[in-house]
Amino acid sequence: MSTAAAYQVSFSVGSTALRGASSRSACKAAALAPVASLCPLQAESNRLVARSTQLSSSFVSSKEDLRAEFRLQQSAQRRHFSNRVGVKTALTMAASSAYDFSVKDIDGNETDLSKFKGKVSLIVNVASACGLTKQNYQELTTVYDKLKEKDFEVLAFPCNQFGGQEPGSAEEIKKFAGDKYKATYPLFSKVDVNGAKAEPLFQYLKKEAGGGDIAWNFGKFLVDKDGKVVKRFDPRTNPSAIEQEIEKIL
């Protein structure tokens, strides 16, 4: 083969090879084009997944924070309740007289019961919507009006613990007792008489008189001029039946 012919063959082979390489590069580029176009979408997808994970983690963290805060509040409430119960128990244990206590009157004013020292008192838990209401209120007024000039007092404490029969506001209770039954003796703010939240005065009265919890509306405690508990009467004992007991210690 002549030199010219050999050169021609070599050139042809080289051209073919170049065309083949160029064709393969074009094919490869064409094949990679969709992948390249997906890269921004993949990046956005990855970003959204990361953000979702972050938000989920934040939500879990917030949820745990809320649970922790709730547990702290519960603990604080239990401590507060325990402290209040402890204070009430301490007051009850330290008292030597019903007149050692301070309570709130029906208008919410703090009242020191020592102001009644030197008087005989009948302390009663009252209610406005009980089957015992009419007779007890009527007789409390009658006995009080008869003996008040002899240093006798009725100390009436509304209580809603028995059948929810004292649901009214302080103003409603005051109006009910005053308008309907002409009660002019002292009325006090609504209290509990049984349980952990019982008014310390009633804790003391029950401790001194014995007999456990008060059974119903219109339980009665007769205390002498020094505030010592003389006798306890159950709700079925009407005030008129106690009148002689009262007069004995006036």
Do the beta carbons of residue 132 and residue 218 sit within 8 Å? yes
End-to-end CA distance of the chain: 155
One DSSP character per residue, 107-147 reads: TS-EEEGGGGTTSEEEEEEE-SSSTTHHHHHHHHHHHHHHH
Backbone phi and psi for residue 18, each to the nearest 5 degrees, phi listed first: -65, -40
Residues catalogued as catalytic: 130
Cβ–Cβ < 8 Å for 103, 189 = yes
String of DSSP letters for 173-207: HHHIIIIIH---S-BB-----SSTT--HHHHHHHH
Instruction: Name the DSSP letter for residue 231.
Output: E
Q: What are phi and psi of 217, to 5 degrees?
A: -60, 150
